[in-house]
Structure 1
Amino acid sequence: MNQAVRVASRTKPYDHVLIVLHGLGDTGQGWTFLASELQQEKCFDSTNFIFPNAPHIPITANSGMHMPGWFDIKEWDPHMKQFDTEGYLKSLQCVEDYVTEEIKNGIPAKNIIIGGFSQGAALTLGCTLNLKEKIGGFFSLSGFINSGIKDVIWNNEVNENAKKCNLDTPIFHGHGNWDPVVDIEKGKDAQKYLTTECHFKDYDFHEYAHLEHSVAPQELKDLTDFIKKCWNM
């Protein structure tokens, strides 16, 4: 597993875990504000927060520049026809390893939520069809599923059982309608794909007016409410 930034629960022992995957070029540290935000509420006192760091890899579309990334971007093509299948599968396994570790630590799978932003959200959406354990929820902030990701997560016969494991697990998807990096239509395409073709039953899509490739206070509030609902807090 990659190294992760961890924010410990305020009380011991912890009994819930939130795993958050950052976007391209960012680090786990960049998302620790979410732990600070949630820990303002007492119901999150027994929650551990894990912010994995993606490996530094050359990003082909950025002239081979090395930066933190969950998978390579071969070209700035919204469909990503040239997709980094190997990198994506490796990162999916990395997330699975974090989940397995927490279950071995005695945390019920239903008390684990996975989420991410942008590229981390694209990885999270792949986890919905790849994870072998039924967890408490998933959240995607400015996420997408393109044709390359579909090929990886749907045509992977090894994970045939995993494709059905989380079909009724709640999914939260927040997206700004002014996003210049991941157009909101790509987010809507992900929702349509997962609900229509993959038959997910609980996909909650939120559109945020005038929001670019970022998160908004209302989105964080909605996300907080979603997490609390998943965990019956």
Structure 2
Amino acid sequence: MTSFWVTLARHKQTRSYKLLKQNEMDVLVPEKHEKTFIFLHGAANQAAMYHNLFLSSYSPVCQNTKILLPQAPMRYITFSQKQLKMPSWYDIYSEDRTNKRPQDLYNLSELETSVKRIQEIMKKEQSILQNKQQLYIGGISQGCALALYSGLSYQQKIGGIIALSGYYIDTCQISKENIDIPIYFSHGLDDQIVKIEYMQQTIKFLQYINPNFKIEYEAGLGHSIGQNQMQKIQKWFQQISQNQAH
């Protein structure tokens, strides 16, 4: 399996966070906690890979945001011919998504288990936040799919979703609370892992049901995170979180 690489890892750290380890999750705690962002890594990756992103000036979220980075369990992935175990939120049967049903592509039981875990984290965080809508979720690649599923099916209103280089699994039962939440969907035009042509149905569906869905294509970007991309998301996040703070 091709890994998803963060291209900002060498940038100077400009933000101050306290790092905690709890329940298979890295937590970056700011001096002042007003918002929470849950970020889900992709298959074959580690939560710790994203520390430097959120500590840099290119972080997609505001400095007063607590960052939760859950770690996926180790499991074999079918389409990789089960050569080795890797961190994964659910098994993937095939990378060819053409005209295939979700149950032919993914282990939906494992997906539901991961959704339940993430939504328990969401529930706990909302019990802490003064403004419960200041909870946000996002992810990349397989983590993007899990973030969309967890956020859209969650039964309490959240602030928004940041979806990077991923896809939507249409077995998701979207809740009335989150059917129109802000979603920023960003995808590299040179992505050879989750190809643009696979995303067209996802994008059309989300645009149809959600007036607050925003899609940005990044020229020259593959299956990775870019500086220009993060700067755009940073502005979007600041705007929606300010609107929701009142």
TM-score, normalised relative to structure 2: 0.81
Of the three residues 220, 224, 233, the one matched with 2:234 is: 224
Q: Deviations over 1:122-154 (max 9, x none)?
A: 111212431111111101000112xxx213x14
Partner of 1:5: 26
Taking the aligned partners of 2:112 and 2:210, their CA distance within structure 1 comes to 21
Cα separation, 2, equivalents of 1:120 and 1:107? 27
User: Which region of structure 1 is more displaced relative to structure 2, 78-87 or 118-127?
Assistant: 78-87
Aligned partners of 1:136, 1:19: CA distance in 2, in Å? Answer: 12
| Counterparts of 1:2 and 1:69, CA distance in 2 | 16
Cα distance in 1, alignment partners of residues 58 and 130 from structure 2: 19
Q: Secondary structure at the match of 2:72?
A: coil
Picking from 182, 207, 222, the partner of 1:170 is: 182
Query: Segments of 4+ in structure 1 off by > 6 A?
Result: none
Selected match of 2:35 from 9, 13, 16: 16
Q: Which residue of 2 aligns with 1:52?
A: 70
RMSD over aligned CA atoms reads 2.1
Structure 1 unaligned blocks of 5 or more: 155-161
**Deviation, structure 1 residue 63:** 2.0
CA distance in 2, matches of 1:168, 1:115: 16
1:2 and 1:94 in contact (8 A); partners too:
no
CA displacement 1:173-194 (0-9 Å, x = unmatched): 1101110000122333222122
Partner of 2:215: 205
TM-score (normalised: structure 1): 0.85
Write the distance in 2 (CA, Å) between the matches of 1:50 and 1:101.
Answer: 12
Q: Distance in 1 between matches of 2:202 and 2:70?
A: 23
Amino acid at match of 1:130: S
Question: Aligned partners of 1:127 and 1:56: how far apart in 2?
Answer: 20
Corresponding position of 1:157: none
Q: Supply the AA of the counterpart residue of 1:47.
A: T
More helix, by proportion: 1
* Structure 2 gaps, min length 5: 1-21
Does residue 32 (structure 1) correspond to residue 61 (structure 2)? The answer is no
Distance 1:45 1:216 in 2: 19
1:194 matched residue in structure 2: 206
Structure 1 match to 2:159:
136
- Cα 1:45/1:195, change in 2 over 3 Å: closer
Mapped to 1, the partners of 2:211 and 2:141 lie a distance apart of 23
Q: 1:193 to 1:32 in 2, by over 3 A?
A: same
Matched length: 217
Which of 165, 170, 173 aligns to 1:150? It is: 170
Q: Does the aligned pair in 1 maintain the 2:59–2:230 contact within 8 Å?
A: no
Higher relative contact order (CA 8 A, sep 6+): 2
Share of identical aligned residues, percent? 25
Partner Cα distance (1:16, 1:96) in 2 = 16
Paired with 1:166 and 1:202, the residues of 2 have a C-alpha distance of 11
